[in-house]
Structure 1
Amino acid sequence: MNAWFTPAILQRARQLDIYADKALADHLWPRLPAHMNFLQKLRIEAFERNEILALPQPLLDLPAVTSLHLQGYHVPWRSALMSPQLTELDIGYWFPSRPLPYEVLRDMLSSLQFLERLILCGINVRFSTPFDQIPNIVLSLHLMKLEIHTEVEQGDISTNNLMLMSLLQTPPGCNRLVSIQRETGETAPLEGILARLIPLFSLVNYKEMGLRQLWLEEHAMTFASTPMMLQDSTVAHQSSYNRTAARLDLAPSLDAYPLNLYLPFVPVGRLRTLFLDGWTTRTLSSHNLWPELLRAEEVWDVKLTSATEGHDYATFFDVLRNERLGGDSNSHSAMLFPRMEQLALPLSGVETASTDVIADLIKLIHARQHKGAPIKKLLVPKEVEHWISWDTLRTMMNVTTVIDGQY
């Protein structure tokens, strides 16, 4: 260390990465030169999990840095290190930090207009005005990736962290991830804020974007949107990006993912592809939530994904086969996914164990054909391509085998 961690070398360094406990860091800081004008990338991580450390003065005056990663250190929000030239900012704490006034965070993040990547972990904010009067943080138009990681506990910290997530306004081409960990505590703040987050994740306020793919899983929801062609009299608008995704992860410690509370807020009107795991299909059935998906009239492709606990195929085929009460007025019957042409099933094991599934599938195919909403293509895993049942089904539709998980 004595050979290379010297002022002469550090003055010319373009990147500096330090992973150290407090004792080692305190030994290193006196070796830093007063100026490191060439430094562009700085990554500092503390090993301490019970204390937030302070950066030394030489690291606070680095206006040339464009990539900054701090873990376990107080963020110097008002220093030259937080320069408008930043393109990558990754900051976080192992435990909730000292509350930061929302206005300070808003002013700082709003000034980073070249930012392309932003990761916030354990950032604790304090609000001084009612939630409905708080202005959004308008993030850089260049932002391509946003990650928010938070732990939900009882009290104001939980509510404020969740509120912050819904106040970050990203460009439509930004891929977003929100990860929520919760060990114990009430779910009321979680439920209220997620009702606001989901429409934001679905980009409902961007007319040029449409939610096209949706993954519903036991502890996650993933939204994938693609540009829509807009036309104002003579000029067609083409977005410069092809697809943007947002993922909401909930901790496995959450005993139940209250799908009934969130599903009504998902704008499924333009949805084309829907992915469902086993937990989701069973929950939709047991809580009678399938009518919520009657709004998804443009769904063309439904894919059941593999899960530790399998799907209830009998009930699933039943809801696809029968008309259900629904619609805006809840006063007329409608078929679920009337435009569905493709269905993927994660079948496995020996064919004799799935005899009832195949029989119910054939009934479904006949019923949809009779009602003018035929399923034209079935995707099944390659491991079951030898099943003789496919010979019968191929007289009615296209049966294609795919590598498991790649449909």
Structure 2
Amino acid sequence: MNQTIWKLDNTIKHYDWGSIDGITNLFAIPNPTSEPMAEIWMGMHPLGCSLAIDEKLGKIRLDKLIKDNPQQILGNKTFQHFGSLPFLFKILSANKALSIQVHPTLENAKIGFAKENQLDIASDAPNRNYKDPNHKPELIYALTPFKAMRSFRAIDEIIMLFEKIALSDLTIPISQLKNNRHPDQLKHFFEYLLTLPTQTKTALIKQLLMKISTFNDEPYLTIKTLAKDYPDDIGLFMPLLLNVIELKPGQAMFLSAKTPHAYLSGTGLEVMANSDNVLRAGLTHKYIDSLELINNTNFESMALDQLLTKPVIKDNKIDFPVPVDDFKFEIIKSDQNLHCEKVDSAQIVLCLDGEITLSTESQSLTLHKGESALIAYQTDVYHYQGLGVLAKAFD
């Protein structure tokens, strides 16, 4: 294999929650049709596989390139452990909320995938929960102010927020939670909300929006914003249950399996295990399976100051440690000096700013802002030079 670094041509996803100009403003990637440009996928997931630009053969699907050269590209350790590229790297830009969701554990993903296969549910069926047998831990890195909800608030805080709006139909469930401040009781309350009959749910949402109409603080402002896009959705109660957080540019947050969350607005980078398994509870027009989501949710509370991933800074690199083997993530600041980079596994690098040249003894490739490249394990060592910033996903 002569070539070991390939520029990538990536798949763009035009989901309805995407921003029309968020990615264009940051990376000058054109959007001639003015469709929502929600995500750009960098990797080999079958629902959005990148193309590698080969010097001799032109564009090759990344999954085929890796399948034909698995150990040279992945390295023996990754190949033996995962069998393929274990991560998916994305640019994500949200103009409105993504669904309230959780991702299953690896064990539950395997069970759910096999079960739905046995039921002959088509892989692209709208009522399919499990698209693959993999888990989907993920890290989000903010490029702009990035608003999200994640993990349950402290139960005392949840009780206080619900008591402030004093909805008569929730008096008994809140009283039960108040008398038994335990994750199991929080689960019962959460399930009660998600499984309300349509008529009761509609009346309750109407009461909620009426009660908070004069409130001008969080999390009630978030509820009002969500109501513009999802006026009849039970997800409007989630800001009272989940932490609302806004990441500043340069901050990151890791989400393990079973963590309830929703991205609300902003542009960031997302790196995750190579999976598209999503269980949804609200703020969406897609398929909702509340009971499957509840069975895959962690109901332990997390404090707001525990939500961010603490960076480790060393020389010109910022590392965001994650507790999984599927991926790692770094920000690399490049200058006009020639820097040496050791390659221990396949890497995907994205140029966030400036112009950076990657070089080996036989290759040279320049990345401009918004461009990305795959670097094979066989590269062993490469150099980078130029004023700019790289984001690196690897395992």
Which TM-score tier does this pair reach, normalised by the shorter chain? under 0.3
TM-score (norm 2): 0.23
Question: TM-score scaled to structure 1, two decimals?
Answer: 0.22
Larger CA Rg, structure 1 vs 2: 1
Larger relative contact order (CA 8 Å, sep ≥ 6): 2
